[in-house]
Amino acid sequence: MGADAGFDMVPRLSQGVKDRMKWERFLEVVKQHYAGDGQVEVGSRVIYFKAGEWPSLPIEGHKFLRFSSKITGRIAAETGVENYIREVMSMAKAFFGGQIRPWTELCDEFGFYRWDFVHASIKSYESEVPTPEPIPITSVNNQGTDCDTNLYKVMTIPGRGRGLVATVDIPKGTRILCEKPLLKVESSMPEFVNRCVAEKLKLLSKDKQGGFLSLHNNFPGPYAFAGVVRTNALPCGPGSSVGGIYLTACFINHSCIPNAHNNWNEAAQYETIHATRDILVGEEILISYAAEGSSQTRQQRLRESFGFQCSCELCSQSPQVIQASDKRRADIQRLDETIGDPVAMMNSPQKSLAACHNLLQILDKEYAGAVIALLARLYYDAFQISVAHGDQARASVFAERSYMSRVECEGEDSPATQWVKSLMQNPTKHSTFNAYSTKWRTSKTARPRNLDADSFDKWLWRLSA
């Protein structure tokens, strides 16, 4: 079968201006180095190395995960693919330094990313038209961020008011928007909020004041400013009593099956919006305002808090489909509570881990793979179960999967992403390491090698135990 070798980009590149320019310079060096080499073909989407198993480099660097091939066997020897891997890796290290992670199975070293993620990334740049050249953000409200503005436009959506619509195909994991708040307000009595907002508005330009006043108010009355805040504010972190008002992000409408995720980046002090599945040109970008509960519960909350009846792709389905969805969401809530029970985690870790696995399957069915934020939390829960009983091998894998999910829904610069990344590299840093028992104790390097995806998942979730 042969042994694979190559290098991975860890973490993967963003779509920001800095990473894009660095990747473009790297590709230019590669092209110049191999000019006239008949085995290197430069296409409109990818650079192919017609050696071994044809390792490739995409024109769009944010899609790149791995450059590798089998380096043993007749074909590998005849085409000199090992030399290409070594040379390209050397050039990549000159540009990206420690982000380049080499590995070779000849030395029992394996790539950072799972092969199914790698194959998906390769498919994305071999089959898709490259994203149009992004335009750097120049808005004062977004200065200092590293996002692009040509991915969407604000439009009037029939029956929904204004919303954001994709102007290009947006791949899953893309940072669509990062925006600093126009103002932040702490939740309090309407009188106090109204007075606080009035003082903050005085410090803003007329255009920004007009932008605030143009936002929908579901609570008209004597405290109009407070009503705008109550209708539009996005929380500055999970459970935060402080909310932010945004001149763009506040136009993003709701869906019970969203295609995007909003997150407050505490370190950078801005809100980010990431695509949680591929969004096609012309599709509306949607987040969830009310993710929990049955359809009836969600509809009531949306009417009371935002003043509309949801008619998203789920809520417009037949009663039978909605009923099946309600059952799945009830199961999701029940399993989530089971997983969060510290007594069960301590005394019955196998059952807690099984609940995580069951939840994973239900989430995939309910959200069709587009629920990255919940997956990030689920994998982190599985990490905590494993690490609390000394299992570093599985804990590191769960942390890796949580990390990759967080990169897609929050970005590499998210503090939560960085924290999970550190746990992936060293599970023992977590405060609960060995806290409950050592009966599952393993070393980080004890994960099995050369298993197919199904066999690896059976090991990971202890399905055969």
The conformation of residue 119, written as its DSSP 8-state character, comes to H
- Give 70-96 pLDDT, tens digit per residue: 988 888 888 889 999 999 999 999 999
Question: What is the band of 98 on the pLDDT scale with cuts at 50, 70, 90?
Answer: confident
Q: What is the mean pLDDT of residues 18-46?
A: 92
Q: How far apart are CA 72 and CA 53, in angstroms?
A: 11
Whole-number Å distance between alpha carbons of 308 and 158? 13
Q: DSSP readout, 395-441?
A: HHHHHHHHHHHHHHHT-TT-HHHHHHHHHHH-GGGSTTTTSS-STT-
For 78, the token pair is 């005849």
pLDDT recorded at residue 291: 65
Query: Which tops the pLDDT comparison, 460 or 465?
Result: 460
pLDDT at 135 over 50: no
Average pLDDT of 204-214?
A: 94
Q: Strand runs (DSSP E) across 43-191, as ranges?
A: 46-49, 56-58, 66-70, 100-104, 152-157, 161-166, 175-179, 183-186
CA 146 to the chain's CA centroid? 16
**Dihedral sign computed on CA atoms, order 101, 118, 107, 2:** negative
Above 90 in pLDDT, residue 427? Answer: yes
Q: What is the pLDDT of residue 1?
A: 60
* H-helix or E-strand spanning residue 234: strand 234-235
Q: What is the pLDDT of residue 356?
A: 97
pLDDT of residue 232: 95
Query: Of all helices (H) and strands (E), which one includes residue 273?
Result: strand 270-275
Confidence at residue 136, expressed as pLDDT on a 0 to 100 scale: 33
Which residue is it, tokens 């969407």?
Answer: 152
Per-residue pLDDT band at 465 (split at 50, 70, 90): low
Closest CA to 285 of 144, 160, 414, 411: 160
pLDDT tens string 152-192 = 999 998 888 899 999 988 888 889 999 999 999 998 899 99
- What's the rounded Cα separation, in Å, for the pair 247 and 211? 6
Q: What is the mean pLDDT of residues 31-36?
A: 92
Is 12's pLDDT higher than 90? Answer: no
Give the pLDDT of residue 130. Answer: 39
Closest CA to 24 of 49, 47, 51, 50: 47
Cis-peptide, bond into residue 427, ω within 30° of zero:
no
Instruction: Bin 93: left if φ > 0, else alpha if -120 < ψ < 50, else beta.
Output: alpha
Q: What is the pLDDT of residues 268-324, one digit of tens each?
A: 999 999 999 889 999 999 999 976 789 999 999 999 999 999 999 999 999 999 999
- Burial (CB < 10 A; 0-12, 13-18, 19+), residue 420, is buried
Which phi and psi angles does 248 have, rounded to 5°? -120, -55
Least confident among 64-68, 290-294, 337-341, 418-422: 290-294
Closest CA relative to residue 118, chosen from 218, 22, 6: 6
Strand partners, 49: 40
Nearest partner of 275 among 365, 357, 164, 181, judged by Cα? 164
Angle between helices 295-306 and 224-232 (to 10 degrees): 150
Contact 170, 63 (CB under 8 A): no
Two structure tokens written together for 345:
């985690």
User: Which residues are registered as beta bridge partners of 163?
Assistant: 155
CB atoms within 10 A of CB 448: 10
Domains of the chain: 4-127 (no CATH), 140-306 (2.170.270.10), 319-460 (1.25.40)
